[in-house]
Amino acid sequence: MLALDANEPPDGVVFRMLRRGNKGKVEARHLVPEASSLAQHSHRQENAGKKEQSELKRLVLQNMERDDFINASRT
């Protein structure tokens, strides 16, 4: 569904784009439709990255708890 209201952004993925000329300013535009394979691949990669990050966080916290337990039992 495309948003037709001027206040709502169109359905799509926002990509940051560097423009040359005019001071090389960075713009955010809805360039890629949400249903495109590029947008879907981008979402899958983002979700996989978040999942990996949360798993690493879980492992780090688990190791910290184990180290705290070992250090507490030594004293």
Q: What are the tens digits of pLDDT across the range 13-65?
A: 777 776 666 676 777 777 788 888 988 998 999 999 999 999 999 999 999 99
If one counts the domains in the chain, the total is 1
Question: End-to-end distance of the chain based on CA atoms, in angstroms?
Answer: 63
Bridge partners, 15 (sequence order): 29
Bridge partners, 14 (sequence order): 30
| CA-based nearest residue to 46, from 16, 13, 3 | 13
> What pLDDT is stored for residue 6 in this prediction?
44
| CA-based nearest residue to 15, from 26, 1, 3, 31 | 31
- Identify whether 28 is part of a domain: yes
Instruction: Report the distance separating Cα 59 and Cα 39, nearest Å.
Output: 30
- Identify whether 8 is part of a domain: no
- Identify whether 6 is part of a domain: no
SS3 state of residue 69: helix
The verdict on pTM exceeding 0.75 is no
- Identify whether 2 is part of a domain: no
